[in-house]
Amino acid sequence: MDKFMDSRWFLRGIALFVTLLLFMSVNLEPQPSSTNIGEFPIFSGSNVIKDVPVTAIYDQENLIVTGIPDTVSVTLEGPNSLVKTAKLKKDFEVYIDLSDYALGTYEVPLKYRNLSDKVKATIKPRTVTVTIKEKIEKSVSVGVDYINQDKVKNGYRADTPVVNPAKVSVIGTEQEVSQVSYAKAVVDIARANQTFSQNVKVHLYSKEGKEVFLRSRPKTVEVTVPVVSQGKTVPIKFVPTGTLLDNLKLRSITSDTNAVSVYAPLNWLNSFSGPIQVPLDLSTVLDDGTYELTVPLPPGAFKVSPSTIRVNVVLDKEGVKKFSNIPIQLTGENSNFNYKILSPSDGTVDVTARGFPDQLGTIQNKDISVTAKVSDLKAGTYDVSLSISAPNNVVYSLNTDTIKIEVTEKSPSKTDNKAGQTTQ
């Protein structure tokens, strides 16, 4: 016996046995159930993993599928080390592949992947019943309901809200989407005393006013609530300031807006009747057109709405009008001399008038007088300046500023017989 215990083979056997014990202590866990015949339970194990997410494979852009669970339970069986690793890493995937299914209702198995071939997975449930329908989107407008309006701070009120975006898309099946008639966002305005914005959840409703629980895109909208003080409508008056260019004249200022709302404390509103004077700086006006003017905020008021007004400005532009063949008249003639206009030979000139259309339109040839003063001229040839007499507020010019006149003495006989006559 002592020889046997001292033998080399006995010691090797003891060492192998100890090694097996150490291996089992590290890798084995209590088994929930017995193994199959032929398996070695000391090397195998099983574990239940709950809440494993399910990946759905289908055309999510155009289809809606109901009946797919969010998570399932998976029981893993196999070598203990592999089962432990799979549970720890959770790098395997449970999925349902509907890519080859048409519209309708089906019982479809759940599958798994990315798991070692030596590990068996049992999914609970093994199959699910799904319904595949076409996805429909419908656009609906978003209205806003105020609550606690009676609790807005004294002297203020909530004006028309601004919703961004103004419409949302309702997503569902054709039957589901057809139930939705409008969308609402509810805003609490208690104690509000200034404009504010907040993100508000969108609720969907049927035509009968019953809430429909479908998904909208986006799920929330930004609502801006203009909170203003008490207000009233007052007239406005356009007041030109500055100076137009020399060749321009203001004809009219008109606007579709003739009054604005002004917001202020009630006692201020009771004492103010307007009008609010809206200035138009003419130095910035270069042509006919539409201009945007800022409405001044009267002292003591909180707000004026609208704060800008578009006005239509019409200008008169300076133009010219020509008058031809205006006869030249001589003044200051002496009865002892004859006067002859050498140039221009026909004794007429052309006159150009520069002014605005309303001024030029009333002027006629008969209203213009062109004269040359010949008093104190003796016999000889002279260049005589011309003078023009015509309606005021118009600038006149001549095609020539001087004329050439020949002055000759009359013979005694002609003087006696034709006294007082003048030759031109």
Q: Which of 317, 351, 373 is the last residue of a domain?
A: 317
328 shares its domain with 409: yes
- Is 153 inside a domain boundary? yes
Q: What is the pLDDT of residue 35?
A: 39
- Is 424 inside a domain boundary? no
296 shares its domain with 313: yes
255 shares its domain with 348: no
What tokens appear for 18 in the block?
Answer: 């100890």
181 shares its domain with 265: no
d(Cα 12, Cα 147) in Å, to the nearest integer? Answer: 87
Q: Confidence class of residue 313 from pLDDT cuts 50, 70 and 90?
A: very high
Domain harbouring 75, CATH code: 2.170.120.30
61 shares its domain with 98: yes
Res 321 pLDDT > 70: yes
Residues 203, 213 contacting (CB under 8 angstroms): no
pTM given for the model: 0.41
39 shares its domain with 113: yes
What tokens appear for 27 in the block?
Answer: 């890798």
Q: Which of 289, 317, 345 is the last residue of a domain?
A: 317
219 shares its domain with 238: no
- Is 343 inside a domain boundary? yes
Q: Which of 165, 196, 229 is the last residue of a domain?
A: 229
- List, for residues 204-214, the tens digit of each pLDDT value: 999 999 999 99
- List, for residues 1-46, the tens digit of each pLDDT value: 455 555 666 667 676 776 666 556 544 444 444 334 334 444 677 8
399 shares its domain with 334: yes
When divided into structural domains, the chain yields a total of 4
- Is 361 inside a domain boundary? yes
- Is 1 inside a domain boundary? no
Q: What is the pLDDT of residue 382?
A: 93
Average pLDDT over residues 290-306: 90
Q: What is the pLDDT of residue 288?
A: 87
Q: What is the pLDDT of residue 268?
A: 84
326 shares its domain with 411: yes
d(Cα 72, Cα 32) in Å, to the nearest integer? Answer: 20
241 shares its domain with 299: yes
- Is 8 inside a domain boundary? no
Residue span of the structural domain in which 143 resides: 136-229
- List, for residues 337-392, the tens digit of each pLDDT value: 999 999 999 999 999 988 888 888 889 999 899 999 999 899 999 999 999 998 88
Domain harbouring 278, CATH code: 2.170.120.40
Tell me which residue of 375, 378, 372, 376 sits closest to 343, measured CA to CA.
372
Residue type for position 365: N
Q: What is the pLDDT of residue 6?
A: 55
- List, for residues 135-146, the tens digit of each pLDDT value: 999 999 999 999
72 shares its domain with 142: no
